[in-house]
Structure 1
């Protein structure tokens, strides 16, 4: 137990209001969890604060709200015995100190009132069980019954109780352990890591939404391979993203080997994370090669092939998003598009770059062409410095060419210079497939560089095309 004073953590005037409200109600209360952890790690001031009361958390929240100017609204969650209120952009959650016991087939506990120590025991990790007193007799004192301070110093994730019980009771904690290890660059205590492996199949009782929430936090961490590697090591990944674990391993036939696409993928995710915080682009990096497992073949003449893996991977992306209950909106379409196009710039970088190939790339990628280039650059994981330099230089050339071609030809988010209505009026046509044929021909001529992306040139081309189809001007 550490009795050092931490008044510095309590500079926000809200803490004095809470202390006063608790004193009037004659109950004890403490700030606990993430706020205390992040203050001690000097990770900036968190926007949410958890308050535990030895008594009714809901009543304390009501009392606090009545003392604040503007009388903030309270959200009460009776079933959980919690209440939430927002004050000046900070979210405060109040809960009564609890003892918990669990049934095997659910992560919903049977809850009874308890002491502060009971409440600290039920917390997931020692670093989240740290509490600071808001009571007059020991205001600002840190209460640390499980030596969470040492674990913070030693960068360790450890459970207050037997990890087997902690994880079996609430299997989401296995994901949380890995997420904190990934976010904070901490190590999971060996006994705790073994317990995750032992309990891995328990993850199946957790909702997909909660799993994805943790997965997104792992993907958003500075080096996602730390968390993804731990998910793989413990066997959890097999339950969550079997498409990814299917990429692991190297096969050899007749002395020909292919690279391990699983570890390559984790490298690509780490690479891209240095250049983007966009979690959906990180998802694209994670899934860019998933089509390689089902398309892998050995050809005696050319060795290992993965024909069409980008197309197969983009189809798999939809199924994966659906299964994990990830959004099936433009976010999913974006990831699909990135997976589908993930090899396109690589081909351009290897060959002589023609303007028409660059125009098609910009046309197909639209607003996402920079993201696509970022993905392809992250995909360079060769350890050969000469090759790496060559690839990077080639991509620079492609990027330069994209800028030049787009400035001149404006094909990004292409709108045909001649509308369908004008084609109909010109040739006296009703809606018909001829209109689509002419529009497509104009688009192709522009992408191929036969005509500039301008109205007059497109109009002349429309006359020619119509004529060749036997159409006459009306």
Structure 2
């Protein structure tokens, strides 16, 4: 098979000239070739050179009058950018591994050696860059057939492949999720048998694959496979612990593992925000700890949102996720995810809306998107009713925000004004007065305006026995 027509661009023509003039042996390999068959446009190109990938990259840079390549000497790779393309060059190699290390013993090798070390048959495809064989496909392991059959399969014995580099188990599941492919039975059986090997992989590398699964069109595919393979209990026990239903007196609760994955799938078409998707994954994470059966009521998960928010930093820390504003955002979403639902059930008052706007701030729209995804009842009428009510809540949020401007608000009377008015130093009374002003605004007792807040401050000060020493009006 020849795919020269697919390589009809200035980049590949120039590369072919350089390969042919210098009598190099070089091939386009991996994901770029795979994506040609899948019809997915890509500007990332991996090039394998029989010999030195770094030396070839330097020659390409010289011929194309580019800046010197970025060289990663320890890995024997180099990178170049050209006309919007990102090129990575590596020398063909063969690898062997010691039992407890992901770091391979690397030797120079042939193209066949390099294809043998690839993770999956669909990533072991290569296209020649030499003029005489330009675009010729080298498919040693039937990768094209596996692409047509939508199968993930290792080129060699899967147990050896996964033992050599256990991260490939995560990659198998990630590709199956992203492409909606099936993992071949022998490959999946080996993956399950080797699950414990994932423990030698760093949290950072695992989370990188997890994030790609989370950002897939249907993330539930990957998490179900991770659980089935026995990897999820090792890398994410809190999520695995959501599994199962318990029945007492004929009353059962939903399986919160599958509910969580359904919420994530429902959210995915509406948001490509990685951290909102993490919030969906963690929104019910504390239900096992808060689960209780109450006679006459049934199953309760009291304060699971609050307990779950407390769990977020611990999970992020262990998984080496960022402990910054991203973590705080996820924590806030987990904490607040029950609030809009409570508004729908109990009635939408201006006071409740003001409080929600104040706490959610600029993330209110994302919170509402999460809450709408959280409606997963099998009762279609119930879902339609909730969604209609959520539209009312959104409309009310907009009306109250336009009227009262309480999103991210601080009381119009500051602590400094309170201290100056009553000649106070920082103390509890200052905080109490400021909090009372905020509550009065949220409850609708006074408008969110300076004059009203100032007069309210004077009344509160009087109640506390404070004297005005300086009238700032």
Q: Does 1:200 align with 2:195?
A: yes
Give the distance between the partners of 2:239 and 2:384, measured in 1 at CA.
29
Give the distance between the partners of 1:389 and 1:358, measured in 2 at CA.
22
Residues 84 and 91 in structure 1, CA contact (< 8 A), matched pair in contact too: yes
Secondary structure of the equivalent of 2:80?
strand
Residue 332 of structure 1 corresponds to 327
Match of 1:163 among 155, 158, 182: 158
Residue 54 of structure 1 corresponds to 50
Structure 1 residues 40-439: aligned runs within 5 Å? 40-44=37-41, 46-69=42-65, 71-439=66-434
Match of 1:20 among 14, 17, 21: 17
Secondary structure of the equivalent of 2:95?
strand
Give the distance between the partners of 2:10 and 2:73, measured in 1 at CA.
27
Give the distance between the partners of 2:426 and 2:372, measured in 1 at CA.
45
Residues 58 and 68 in structure 2, CA contact (< 8 A), matched pair in contact too: no
Give the CA deviation at 1:90.
Answer: 2.1
- Poorly superposed stretches of 4+, deviation over 3 Å: none
Give the CA deviation at 1:79.
Answer: 2.0
Give the CA deviation at 1:22.
Answer: 2.6
Could you list the per-position Cα deviations for residues 241-294 of structure 1 after superposition, in whole angstroms to 9, with x for gaps in the alignment?
100111111111111111100001000000001210101100000010010011
Question: Does 77-86 or 141-150 show the bigger shift?
Answer: 77-86
Q: Does 1:37 align with 2:30?
A: no
Give the CA deviation at 1:137.
Answer: 1.4
Give the distance between the partners of 2:5 and 2:302, measured in 1 at CA.
60
Question: Does 170-179 or 386-395 show the bigger shift?
Answer: 386-395
Give the distance between the partners of 1:431 and 1:248, measured in 2 at CA.
50
Could you list the per-position Cα deviations for residues 223-242 of structure 1 after superposition, in whole angstroms to 9, with x for gaps in the alignment?
00011111111111111110
TM-score, with structure 1 as normaliser:
0.97
Give the CA deviation at 1:174.
Answer: 0.6
Give the distance between the partners of 2:84 and 2:201, measured in 1 at CA.
31
Could you list the per-position Cα deviations for residues 35-79 of structure 1 after superposition, in whole angstroms to 9, with x for gaps in the alignment?
1111121111x131100011111100010011123x223222222
Give the distance between the partners of 1:72 and 1:89, measured in 2 at CA.
14
Secondary structure of the equivalent of 2:458?
helix
Residues 314 and 339 in structure 1, CA contact (< 8 A), matched pair in contact too: yes
Could you list the per-position Cα deviations for residues 84-127 of structure 1 after superposition, in whole angstroms to 9, with x for gaps in the alignment?
12223322111111111111111111111111111111100111
Secondary structure of the equivalent of 1:441?
helix
Give the distance between the partners of 2:89 and 2:131, measured in 1 at CA.
19
Give the distance between the partners of 2:310 and 2:192, measured in 1 at CA.
31
Give the distance between the partners of 2:164 and 2:312, measured in 1 at CA.
32
Question: Does 12-21 or 394-403 show the bigger shift?
Answer: 12-21
Where does the alignment leave 5 or more consecutive residues of structure 2 unmatched?
none
RMSD: 1.1
Give the distance between the partners of 1:252 and 1:147, measured in 2 at CA.
49
Give the CA deviation at 1:196.
Answer: 0.7
Q: Does 1:8 align with 2:5?
A: yes
Secondary structure of the equivalent of 1:49?
strand
Could you list the per-position Cα deviations for residues 124-179 of structure 1 after superposition, in whole angstroms to 9, with x for gaps in the alignment?
01110111100121011111111111111111111111111111110100100111
TM-score, with structure 2 as normaliser:
0.97
Give the distance between the partners of 1:47 and 1:261, measured in 2 at CA.
40
Residues 97 and 114 in structure 1, CA contact (< 8 A), matched pair in contact too: yes
Residues 53 and 90 in structure 2, CA contact (< 8 A), matched pair in contact too: yes
Give the distance between the partners of 2:452 and 2:107, measured in 1 at CA.
78
Secondary structure of the equivalent of 2:245?
coil
Say how many residue pairs are matched: 469
Give the distance between the partners of 2:259 and 2:417, measured in 1 at CA.
51
Question: Does 200-209 or 5-14 show the bigger shift?
Answer: 5-14
Could you list the per-position Cα deviations for residues 407-463 of structure 1 after superposition, in whole angstroms to 9, with x for gaps in the alignment?
101000102211222222222222222211111111000000000101111111111
Give the distance between the partners of 1:390 and 1:238, measured in 2 at CA.
37
Give the distance between the partners of 2:239 and 2:276, measured in 1 at CA.
16
Where does the alignment leave 5 or more consecutive residues of structure 1 unmatched?
none
